[in-house]
Amino acid sequence: MPDRQAIEALIIESVQMLAEDFELEALKQPDSDSPLYGEGGALDSMALVNLIADIEEALAEKFERSVALADEKAMSAKNSPYRSIRSLTDAVIERMPA
Amino acid sequence: MSWIRNKLAAYRDRIACHEGGRTYSYADFLELIDQAAAKLPSGNRQVVEVQAPTTIEGLATLLAIAARGHIALPLPLELPAAEQAKMRQVAATSPLYDQLQGSGLILFSSGTSGEPKGMLHNFDALLQRYRNIRPRQDRNLLLLLIDHIGGLDSAFRCLFAGSTLVVPTARTPEAAGAAIATHQVNVLPASPTFLNLMLLNGVAASHDLSSVEIIAYGAEAMPQTVLTRLGEAFPNAQLQQKFGTSETGAIRIKSAANSSLFFRIQDSETQWKVVADELWLKTPSRILGYLNASNDSLEADGWYRTGDLVETDDQGYLRILGRASALINVGGQKVHPAEVEAVLNTVPGITASKVFAKPAPITGSAVACEIVVNKEQDLRAWKRAIRKHCRGQLAPWKIPSSIAVVDAFAVNRRMKHA
């Protein structure tokens, strides 16, 4: 299983590329704590939908792991996994098959 | 049903069909009908399987069954044995058969659950629609099998007009091109998927297709890009949109213009209306019911709810947007796959696309697509190209968020995307 650092790097890269595609200035140089979706976040719901798809496809391509980040659990979680890069990384690790 | 015999006899010396290296006159065709009639069971109405080695013999058997008042069950030999067995089982008995006056015809459509859905037509009523057809001398290519309303409509329309059916050796773009060139086919009825395959395979370059005067397309939404490229590949051809459903038979329509997807229903026997964006049709040739599925789409007063979503303009023209069942709901916003596919097909390097729904956070569903491409680049680059191309042409929620590159799309035996 890829380590936390590798997963976070992949998510940061996905956020950067999405920021370029969607022209989101606030997310062109993201770090672990950059707010994504929700309070203070730069993503609207469509940008989030695209980011989740990008991350899922990148995980499949780089690590050959199929991870679904738009599951029931994520959507009903008290603390949304889509808040920041850190919380998204947690969500990926939690869902990644060994 | 004597009108059928009289009509065909009037064409006696004309050519009815080219198939398998043989040429059949209308006199030959009448003889095939007699031969088929001789083999039919005598006595009360029963379900008769139609399994003929050639299409023209299959058609002759169908007409013999209609004259005798039996119920025809076309089971082309091309179908897998398991599918044939399933159809036979569905058609074995039904309470609907008692409601039938005159002959019957059982057709199957691919149900959404994957289970073939059997339906019972009043075959006399279906044939009656061709009674007043005017004589023509066309040469029509027949691509669909005769277990399908589109194939039957092409075949009957051709034969009752005294034209010539041309059956290719295989239902491939290559065989179609060869048959067109050999027999100077001037009418080409085909699905948009098949026409696109012909273009992709370069059939226009390897065969002389200049005889084609009419391309009749239907059965699924036609991408505007394919329509434009067809205009270039067949400069002499007039493009005609066809419309019909397995449940009602073909409906006569007229396109707004040669390259337009808008059409007007011009059929004295057909009433239509649009209810909540869905097209409803009422024709004398509607099916009596489904053999193995709910009759929810069949209203008691004769209307059929097609499941096709349409757009109408103020002059009464219609355009098919897609199937209601294929509609994608992105956070409450509706997306028609065909609309997105039309834009994707104009991205340089993309030759075909298929759009569908995928679960997504917040919005419930998102738009996903598969693309067939003719140049190498990584997925990331395709994604970027698509986002860039679609922005400004499609609302943000319609732009695909998930993209996969595939080698080719499976085409089912109805010549539509599987």
* Residue-wise pLDDT tens digits, A58-73: 999 889 888 888 877 7
Average pLDDT over residues B180-198: 91
pLDDT at res. A5: 94
pLDDT at res. B418: 46
% of chain B beyond a pLDDT of 70 = 95
% of chain A beyond a pLDDT of 90 = 60
**Could you read off the pLDDT of B121-155 as tens digits, one per residue?**
999 999 999 999 999 999 999 998 888 888 999 99
pLDDT at res. B259: 67
Secondary structure (H, E, C), chain B: CHHHHHHHHHCCCCEEEEECCEEEEHHHHHHHHHHHHHCCCCCCCCEEEECCCCHHHHHHHHHHHHHHCCEEEECCCCCCHHHHHHHHHHHCCCHHHHHCCCCEEEEEEECCCCCEEEEEEEHHHHHHCCCCCCCCCCEEECCCCCCCHHHHHHHHHHHCCCCEEEECCCCCHHHHHHHHHHHCCCEEEECHHHHHHHHHCCHHHHCCCCCCCEEEECCCCCCHHHHHHHHHHCCCCEEEECEEECCCEEECEEECCCCCCCEEECCCCCEEEEECCEEEEECCCCCCEECCCCCCCECCCCCEEEEEEEEECCCCCEEEEEEHHHCEEECCEEECHHHHHHHHCCCCCEEEEEEEEEEECCCEEEEEEEEEECCCCCHHHHHHHHHHHHECCECHHHCCCEEEECCCCCECCCCCEC
Residue B22 has pLDDT above 80, yes or no: yes
pLDDT interval class at B256 (50, 70, 90): confident
Residue A78 has pLDDT above 90, yes or no: no
Residue B367 in contact with residue B399, Cβ under 8 Å? Answer: yes
Q: Which CATH architecture has domain B327-405?
A: 2-Layer Sandwich (3.30)
- Shortest alpha-carbon distance between residue A23 and chain B (Å): 11
Q: What is the CATH number of the domain that holds A32?
A: 1.10.1200.10
Among A2-6, B166-170, B195-199, B310-314, the minimum mean pLDDT is found in B195-199
Residues B362, A53: C-beta atoms closer than 8 Å = no
Going from N- to C-terminal start, the domains of chain B cover 1-161, 327-405
Residue A53 has pLDDT above 80, yes or no: yes
- Shortest alpha-carbon distance between residue A70 and chain B (Å): 5
pLDDT at res. B364: 85
Q: Which of A17, A49, A69 sits opposite B401 (nearest CB)?
A: A49
Indicate whether this complex's ipTM tops 0.95.
no
Average pLDDT over residues B291-306: 93
pLDDT interval class at B219 (50, 70, 90): low
Average pLDDT over residues B311-330: 88
Residue B30 has pLDDT above 70, yes or no: yes
- Shortest alpha-carbon distance between residue B337 and chain A (Å): 17
Strand, coil or helix: what is A88?
Answer: helix
pLDDT at res. B303: 96
Most confident option among A35-39, B70-74, B113-117 = B70-74
Cβ neighbours of B403 in A, within 8 Å: 57
Residues B384, A21: C-beta atoms closer than 8 Å = yes
Put residue B155 in one of left, alpha, beta given phi > 0 → left and psi -120 to 50 → alpha: alpha
pLDDT at res. B417: 56
pLDDT at res. B221: 61
More confident residue, A26 or B414: A26
Among B251-260, B340-349, B371-380, B409-418, the minimum mean pLDDT is found in B409-418
Cβ neighbours of A49 in B, within 8 Å: 330, 360-363, 366, 401
Cβ neighbours of A71 in B, within 8 Å: 359
pLDDT interval class at B411 (50, 70, 90): low
Interface of A with B (CB under 8 A): 17, 21-22, 37, 45-46, 48-50, 52-54, 56-57, 61, 68-71, 74-75, 82
Share the mean pLDDT of chain B: 90
- Angle at the Cα of B148 from the Cα atoms of B146 and B153, rounded to 5 degrees: 75
Total of domains in chain A? 1
Mutation site for B-interface testing, chosen from A15, A46, A88 by largest number of B Cβ within 10 Å: A46
Q: Which of A17, A37, A49 sits opposite B366 (nearest CB)?
A: A49
pLDDT interval class at B290 (50, 70, 90): very high
Name the token pair of B99.
């409601």
Q: Is the pTM of this model over 0.95?
A: no
CATH number of B1-161: 3.40.50.12780
Q: Are strands B271-275 and B263-265 parallel, antiparallel or unpaired?
A: unpaired
Residues A61, B379: C-beta atoms closer than 8 Å = yes
pLDDT at res. B339: 87
pLDDT at res. A72: 74
pLDDT at res. B178: 97
What's the domain range around A66?
4-95
